[in-house]
Structure 1
Amino acid sequence: MVEFARYYINFIRDFFANIGKFFKALFEAFADLLFNGVVEFFQKFSAASGSFTLLDWVMAFVVLVINLAFLVFVVLKLWQLITKYIKFSKKEFEKEELLEEITFLNTKTIELIDEKNKILALQIQKLGGAAADESGKPISYDRENKKEEYLGPSRFVKLIQVDKEYDNTVTAIHMKDEDMINLRELVSRFINFSASKLGLFYDRKIISAFFAGMATSKTMILEGISGTGKTSLPYAMGKFFSHDSSIIAVQPSWRDRAEMIGYLNEFTKKFNETDFLKSIYEATYRDDICIVVLDEMNLARVEYYFAELLSLLEMPDPDAWLIDIVPDNQPGDPKNFKNGKILLPQNVWFIGTANKDDSTFTITDKVYDRATPIEINAKAAYIDAPQTDGVTFSYDYLNDLFRVANKDNALSLKALENLEKLDQFITKNMKVTFGNRIMKQIRAFVPVYVACGGSEYEGLDYMVARKIFRKFESLNLPFLQNEINDLSALLDRLFGKNAFVECQAYLSNIKKQF
């Protein structure tokens, strides 16, 4: 053990001696470089310069300047590196201090929020609301039992403004005697109103199809070439019914319902409300006709952002038309919310306008099958209409007109039999079938179309061309030339020669492609 101790002591002594020699050699090297070497350099230079010529002196001067510049450059770079390191260290130190301060502030914020929630829970208890749990947070908030209006900030700024606008406002519709007209008169009055007041001219067939479409579905698609008045038609309808239509410009970036309805910002705890949501919410206060226009609806994929509403509107019970907005109700939420949901009013129609060009998406069968398409491909002729005022219509009155039309103008037995034969032919030869949904829409559309002044076969022609024949676009038509010719002949045989003008025109366009 003594020998090992002696060895280890010598080892430590030699180790530190070597470290000392290292630093001594390093110091001597710097001394030689900065002091001894400089003196030796000048001595050698002095000895050699005795035999310098003029050219040698010039070269010596140039080299000396270059060496000095290099030395200055090295010193400056070292200085920059040192200062950067010092600044970096200082920033890191300040950053750590800032993070500590942020952590402290977050802790204080959480404590203040907890204290605020406890105070709010006590206030709710005093107002007759729900009890608070052990942590002091309210378990729930019952709007029906509240005794005072919540005066704090709301996460729904626009919708709360709607509540204020309709507060203590009578929204019931009191119709005048001159406004209690039938559907045929309604079509004529709109055409005259649009021409005399707005300078917009529409064909009677288009307007009849529009009202019949309203009776058929809550969703309609106005399509056709640009500049034919697709957007102006629902705009004029809003003016006619004394309640301006809400025109929502669809953006190409819309990918889901959040783009259309809005979303809750988890950071600010505010709901990013859209004009679409505001229009729907405002309709919950009204009893008249409310029209929401989705302008250029196929700039984005309709089945992406509108899928939820399409599914909701398919439900037979209107009480199930609930749109999820937020997970639950909170103090300060809009009055007409039900557990964070809005009940979609029945007096709302969604009218989409669509162009067919390279900048738009194709509207899929899922959307077409649930909506009523109306094509506007030509401008109507000028109408010298008398000055005509709009109407004050309640939703209930318009719905009664639709109900009476369905009762008085139900599809004839012959028309149903011919439709069945047409369905059998198309199913067998084209592998396309009507389906219960389309048949239900035809039964709703045609009677109202007849009540608006059209004929039964005109209404059938309109719906068959747009709801059934449109599906032929997905078929390999060049291989179905004989079937197309047979279908054209079948239409003449079942419904009369040239009775189905729209369908025959569609088939003629297909034949031109052969």
Structure 2
Amino acid sequence: MSEFLKFAYELLSQVVYNIVTWLVAFLKLFITGWAEYFLIFRTYFPTLEVFAKILSVILMIILFAIPVLLVIILVRHMILRHQLKADKTDNAALYKEIGRLNKQVLSLMEEKNSILALKVNAMGGTKRIPYVGASALTDDVLPTVGEVTSGKGLAEAAATAAGAGAVAAGAVIAAAEGGVAGAAGVPSAAAMASAPVVNAVISEAKKNIGHRFPKLTLVDEKYANYQIPEYNNDITLEEFAEGYRLFAASQLKLYYTPEIVRRFVAGMAASKLLILEGISGTGKTSLPYSFSRYLYNPATIVSVQPSYRDRSELLGYFNEFSKRFNETEFLRALYEANYREEPTLIVLDEMNLARIEYYFAEMLSVLEMPSKDEWVLDLVPTAWEGDPVKMDGGKIHVSDATWFVGTANNDDSTFTITDKVYDRAMPIELNERADAFECDPQPACYVTTEHLEYLFQKAKVEHPISDDLMDKMQKLDSYLVTRFKLSFGNRIMKQMYDFIPVYVACGGTELDAMDYIVARKVLKKFESMNVSFVRDEITGLINYIEKTFGKAGMEDSKSYLRRIQNLY
């Protein structure tokens, strides 16, 4: 035991010694040590140069300011703490005032809800829905809970809804559905007894709302007696592409080179999403517009806004109050495409003013589905009587005849198009205007999407990619993987198999088609890399392309690489 006491004494004495030593050192640092500091200052100050003297004075001021600042903070904290303790009465009064104001806010909100209920009842007709808030403002006697939830009150609401408009009917649904549940969300006995009446009210009100998709209903009426035109299903792809170029020039005074037209048509074969890039004034928007005029099916042009963040910007949303769907032109065009046999183009003008992967995300996912039967969008959870004909259970089908064409500028006002979007789309660059030319008037062309898809498949059979070109592609792929960790990828390879044969069928060569795919789909990934570290490797890549494809081959890819190399 004596040994333990000796151990404890020695240990605790050492702890106390260290604490006292720290306190003494702290006091000496900020209080008693100033005599030594000034002695050192006086010893060195006369021997210092002018600049060193200024620095020494600044150093002494900083050392003096530290304890002064600590004292000020401590005193301020003590004063504030004292004031808080002295103001207990004032604080209590403040808390009471805050509580009183909160009660006033709740009272005003209740009054607002009561006035809204009055307004809804006034729109419904002479009889009112039994509502406690409205009765409190207009009646001397408040209705009981039994009166509110009874079948009699709900039946009166149903009778009122029968002659009301869409807004009043929506209010009936809200009132009837709300009357079933009790205050805590548990149905009362009276509410359960009146459940059949409630269902009848809801059903009747839904009928009286009318069409909750008015624009889509007008589309149904438009095509009720639609006469199918006589289509030209004997045309070839080359005739189709050249016919459009002559139509745009003769009818609309818009001029495009054969290469641009071939890329556009071949891009339609490779993807349902095309992105037209280039400087302003080169005809990015007019290209899909004139192409749709050539097909007798004018495109719908949607001007993308910077505020677009989700699917509701494109598809619209269901308004719970009016019980109608706020439809957009995008949704109307998407729905109308289910009636048309010819291709439908929907143009997203300035599509990168907002982030494409935000507002267009669901459409990108839908278009990736392997089965066209899975190309559906959920608009509303359930089907109602009077919904558009082409809707199924609140869902709308994305027709295989629909193509989405986005125009994009690359400047400070736009977002960068990510690889996720580029991989799924077919980019087409328009950086210069074609020269004007004279030609005979060219009529428009009636052609079905089915025939166009047949021509795409026929091109893959008649113009398959040659084995020699495939071998060179594999070598280039291996080179890119080894030197740059870049690869064609499965999606790009699939697009290449679709794009090149159609480009050849439109009058081009397979080397030019592959050159374009490699430049726009593979080498474009250099823009997201730190090219300054691989600038010399790019020179080697250019030399490898010339060695593999010849000096005159792959000019588009080589010029693109040189531009990237000079840019960085």
Match of 2:216 in 1: 159
Give distance in 1, aligned partners of 2:513 and 2:432.
19
Match of 2:360 in 1: 306
Give distance in 1, aligned partners of 2:279 and 2:535.
28
2:448 pairs with one of 394, 400, 406: 394
Give 1:134 deviation, angstroms. 4.4
Answer yes or no: is the 8 Å Cα contact 2:154–2:197 preserved in 1. Answer: no
Give distance in 1, aligned partners of 2:256 and 2:159.
63
SS in 2 for 1:361: coil
Answer yes or no: is the 8 Å Cα contact 2:274–2:404 preserved in 1. Answer: yes
Give distance in 2, aligned partners of 1:279 and 1:416.
40
- TM-score (structure 1 length as normaliser): 0.73
Structure 2 unmatched ranges of 5 or more: 1-103, 119-130, 136-147, 164-168, 170-194
SS in 2 for 1:448: helix
Kindly name which structure, 1 or 2, has the bigger radius of gyration based on alpha carbons.
Answer: 1
Paired residues for 1:34-433 under 5 Å: 102=118, 103-104=131-132, 105=134, 112=156, 134=196, 137=199, 153-171=210-228, 173-176=229-232, 180-433=234-487
SS in 2 for 1:512: helix
Paired residues for 1:431-450 under 5 Å: 431-450=485-504
Answer yes or no: is the 8 Å Cα contact 2:209–2:323 preserved in 1. Answer: no
Match of 2:549 in 1: 495
Structure 1 unmatched ranges of 5 or more: 1-87, 121-132, 142-149
Give 1:151 deviation, angstroms. 7.9
CA shift in 2, pair 1:97/1:383, >3 Å:
closer
Give 1:288 deviation, angstroms. 0.9
Give 1:112 deviation, angstroms. 4.8
SS in 1 for 2:474: helix
Give distance in 2, aligned partners of 1:272 and 1:185.
42
SS in 2 for 1:323: strand
CA shift in 2, pair 1:214/1:110, >3 Å:
farther
Answer yes or no: is the 8 Å Cα contact 1:182–1:401 preserved in 2. Answer: yes
Give distance in 2, aligned partners of 1:196 and 1:96.
63
Q: Deviations over 1:135-186 (max 9, x none)?
A: 5637x99xxxxxxxx7861111111111111113234x4224xx62211111
CA shift in 2, pair 1:474/1:443, >3 Å:
same
Q: Which amino acid aligns with 1:414?
A: D
Root-mean-square deviation (CA, aligned residues, Å) is 2.9
Give 1:453 deviation, angstroms. 0.6
Q: Which amino acid aligns with 2:428?
A: I
Match of 1:46 in 2: none
Give distance in 2, aligned partners of 1:99 and 1:200.
59
Give 1:513 deviation, angstroms. 3.4
Q: Deviations over 1:344-367 (max 9, x none)?
A: 111110000001111111111111
Q: Which amino acid aligns with 2:210?
A: P
Alignment coverage as a number of residue pairs: 402
Give 1:490 deviation, angstroms. 1.4
Give distance in 2, aligned partners of 1:353 and 1:342.
25
My pick for the range that moved more, 292-301 or 476-485, is 476-485
Match of 1:504 in 2: 558
Q: Which amino acid aligns with 2:253?
A: G
Q: Which amino acid aligns with 1:388?
A: Q
Choose between structure 1 and 2 for higher RCO, CA contacts under 8 A separated by at least 6 residues.
Answer: 1
Aligned residues: percent identity?
43
Give distance in 2, aligned partners of 1:199 and 1:364.
34
Answer yes or no: is the 8 Å Cα contact 1:216–1:445 preserved in 2. Answer: yes
Answer yes or no: is the 8 Å Cα contact 1:498–1:504 preserved in 2. Answer: no
Q: Which amino acid aligns with 1:186?
A: F
Give 1:289 deviation, angstroms. 1.3
